């Protein structure tokens, strides 16, 4: 055979598609694009940076504060203040994990390799959730202990991870943000478009609550606590009242929204042309 005549080497080890292999494949895709690295770095920076700056400011001004202002600064809120901002980054990356496959056309390669499709969605969710959970638990734990270190000289701001509710709030804040990521990934799969996915996410998380205030209080108040964002954040709130769900109830309601979004995404994924 001459040099220009190509010959395809035989495949020595034939394979078949398994879910574990799709997980490995999706992990390769996830780690091999820049947006992942950038988003992870920004999410960590926000989750750690904002509490550290906040803690430094409160600690330096503590002596001049009157008792009322002092009471406004709960050390747990300061430790977890980055979560509410980092969730936006986690949501954007969640949308991108699947929407970028549609915008670049790589979804056709993906579904040619795994034509049953559903394992792809499941693997993306598992991989992204695992990555998000791992990164965010680390980040919020560091944030908690680092802000406590900054507060070491201020007795009223001391917290222990073993105090009632503290460990639950710190750890579930990472779980919450992971669920936000999964919810956003499902929105990306439903909209198949980065801008649309992010817009729908923003509408659900940042527009519904102000909108509920436009309703009469007798309607808006009972509805509001069941909205996705309000239900979800109860997982890492220390105090609850009649306007909020319990951590368990809030977590379950939010999980229900996530499950619904994923179910819609799975249904559409099976039916639509690519």
Partner 1 sequence: MIEARDLTKNYGKKRAVDGLSFTVQPGVVTGFLGPNGSGKSTTMRLILGLDAPNRGDATVNGRHYRDHPAPLSEVGALLEARSVHTGRSAYNHLLALAQTHGFPKRRVNEMIDLVGLHDVAGKRAGKYSLGMGQRLGIAAALLGDPKTVLLDEPVNGLDPEGIHWIRNLLKGLAAEGKTVFVSSHLMSEMALTADHLIVIGRGKLIADTSVEAFVSGASQKLVLVRSPDLTRLQEKLAGEGVSFTPAERGALEVHGLTAEQVGDAAAAAGITLHELTPQQASLEEAFMDLTRDEVEFSPVIPSQPEGEEAVT
The binding site for partner 1 (CB under 8 A) comprises 4-11, 13-18, 21-22, 24-26, 28-29, 32-35, 100-101, 104-109, 111-116, 271, 273-274
To partner 1, the closest distance from the beta carbon of 123 in angstroms equals 9
Q: Which of 6, 9, 173 is CA-nearest to residue 82? A: 173
Q: Are 85 and 51 in contact (CB under 8 A)?
A: no
Question: Which phi and psi (to 5°) does residue 82 adopt?
Answer: -70, -25
Smaller CB separation from partner 1, 101 or 201: 101
Smaller CB separation from partner 1, 64 or 112: 112
Query: Per-residue b/e over 208-223, b at no fewer than 16 CB within 10 Å?
Result: eeeebeeeeeeeeeee
To partner 1, the closest distance from the beta carbon of 120 in angstroms equals 9
Smaller CB separation from partner 1, 8 or 217: 8
Distance between CA 136 and CA 182 in Å, rounded? Answer: 14
DSSP per-residue letters across 56-115 = HHHHHHGGG--HHHHHH--HHHHHHTTHHHHHHHHHHHHHHHHHHHHHHSHHHHHHHHST
To partner 1, the closest distance from the beta carbon of 119 in angstroms equals 9
Question: Residue 193, SS3?
Answer: coil
Distance between CA 83 and CA 271 in Å, rounded? Answer: 36
Q: For the chain, what's the residue count?
A: 274
Smaller CB separation from partner 1, 4 or 214: 4
To partner 1, the closest distance from the beta carbon of 178 in angstroms equals 23
Distance between CA 128 and CA 124 in Å, rounded? Answer: 6
To partner 1, the closest distance from the beta carbon of 129 in angstroms equals 19
To partner 1, the closest distance from the beta carbon of 260 in angstroms equals 25
Smaller CB separation from partner 1, 31 or 158: 31
Smaller CB separation from partner 1, 83 or 125: 125
Smaller CB separation from partner 1, 69 or 104: 104
To partner 1, the closest distance from the beta carbon of 108 in angstroms equals 4
Q: CA end-to-end span of the chain, whole Å?
A: 40
């Amino acid at each position: 055979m001459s040099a220009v005549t190509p010959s395809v080497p035989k495949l020595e080890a034939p394979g078949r598609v398994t879910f574990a292999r799709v997980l490995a494949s999706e992990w390769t895709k996830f780690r091999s694009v820049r947006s992942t690295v950038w988003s992870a770095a920004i999410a960590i920076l926000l989750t750690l940076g904002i509490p550290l700056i906040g803690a430094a400011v409160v600690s330096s001004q503590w002596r001049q504060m009157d008792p009322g202002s002092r009471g406004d600064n709960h050390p747990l809120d300061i430790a977890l203040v980055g979560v509410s901002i980092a969730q936006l980054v986690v949501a954007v990356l969640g949308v991108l994990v699947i929407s970028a496959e549609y915008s670049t056309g790589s979804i056709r390669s993906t579904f040619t390799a795994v034509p049953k499709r559903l394992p792809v969605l499941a693997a993306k969710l598992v991989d992204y959730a695992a990555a998000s959970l791992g990164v965010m638990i680390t980040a919020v734990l560091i944030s908690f202990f680092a802000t406590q270190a900054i507060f070491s000289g201020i007795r009223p701001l001391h917290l222990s991870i073993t105090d009632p509710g503290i460990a639950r709030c710190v750890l579930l804040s990472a779980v919450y943000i992971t669920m936000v990521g999964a919810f956003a990934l499902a929105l990306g799969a439903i909209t198949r478009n980065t801008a649309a996915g992010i817009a729908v996410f923003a509408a659900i998380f940042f527009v519904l609550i102000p909108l509920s205030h436009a309703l009469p209080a007798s309607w808006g108040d009972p509805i509001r606590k069941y909205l996705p964002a309000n239900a979800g954040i109860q997982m890492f709130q220390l105090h609850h009242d009649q306007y909020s769900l319990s951590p368990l109830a809030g977590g379950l309601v939010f999980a229900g929204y996530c499950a619904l979004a994923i179910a819609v995404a799975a249904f559409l994924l099976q039916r639509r042309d690519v």
